[in-house]
Amino acid sequence: MEGLASGLAMGLGAIGPGIGVGLVVLGALQGIARNPEVAGEIRTNMILGIAFAEAIAIYALVVALLLKFV
């Protein structure tokens, strides 16, 4: 039963960051396409946004591991 709980925690916890990363990259690519001169600044902000979204996925992983092994 704890396998199901940890699988659901990780699966559902990864949906939000996955969608978030997709939206961040979409916005960055549209911004670079409209104004290529600021591509460096947009890319830096995009990587920062992706890192924050992936941090939430890491929290979900920690919860899933706690459910599995504790």
Please list, in sequence order, all residues whose beta carbon lies within 8 angstroms of the beta carbon of residue 20, skipping any fewer than 6 positions away: 49, 53, 56
* Structural domains present in the chain: 2-69 (1.20.20.10)
Max distance between CA atoms of the chain, in angstroms, equals: 53
Tens of pLDDT along the chain (70 residues)? 778 988 898 889 899 999 999 999 999 999 999 999 999 999 999 999 999 999 999 999 999 999 888 8
Which pLDDT does position 24 carry in this prediction?
Answer: 95
Please identify which residue in the block is written with the tokens 């409209």.
34
